[in-house]
Amino acid sequence: MTITAERVLQGDPLKIADRCDQCGAQAFVRVLFSQNRDLLFCGHHYQRHEPVLMTRYPYVSVVDERHKINQKPSVSANAD
């Protein structure tokens, strides 16, 4: 079975190992500029950059998985 790079990039859900390009936190949004060029953002940084990104690059594809933030209990979720 052959999987093209494009399919992998677009179909791959974000993994815990995917990190925000700005701060290194877990990434929840992937912005695809082209087949081999993307940016990863945490929820915080995507929210901050979204207006500029969507204005300058309205054609990009966005994989937005922010609904997964805090979906699964984590060690830090036990804080409260």
Residues of the shown chain interacting with Zn ion in the complex, contacts defined by CB under 5 A: 20, 22-23, 25, 42, 45
> Which one, 23 or 69, has the nearer CB to Zn ion?
23
> Which one, 1 or 16, has the nearer CB to Zn ion?
16
Query: What is the C-alpha separation between 68 and 54, in angstroms, rounded?
Result: 22
> Which one, 24 or 58, has the nearer CB to Zn ion?
24
- Hey, what are 56's tokens? 């300058």
Q: In whole angstroms, how close is the CB of 48 to Zn ion at the nearest point? A: 8
Q: How far is CA 18 from its chain centroid? A: 8
CB-CB contact of 41 with 20 (8 Å) = yes
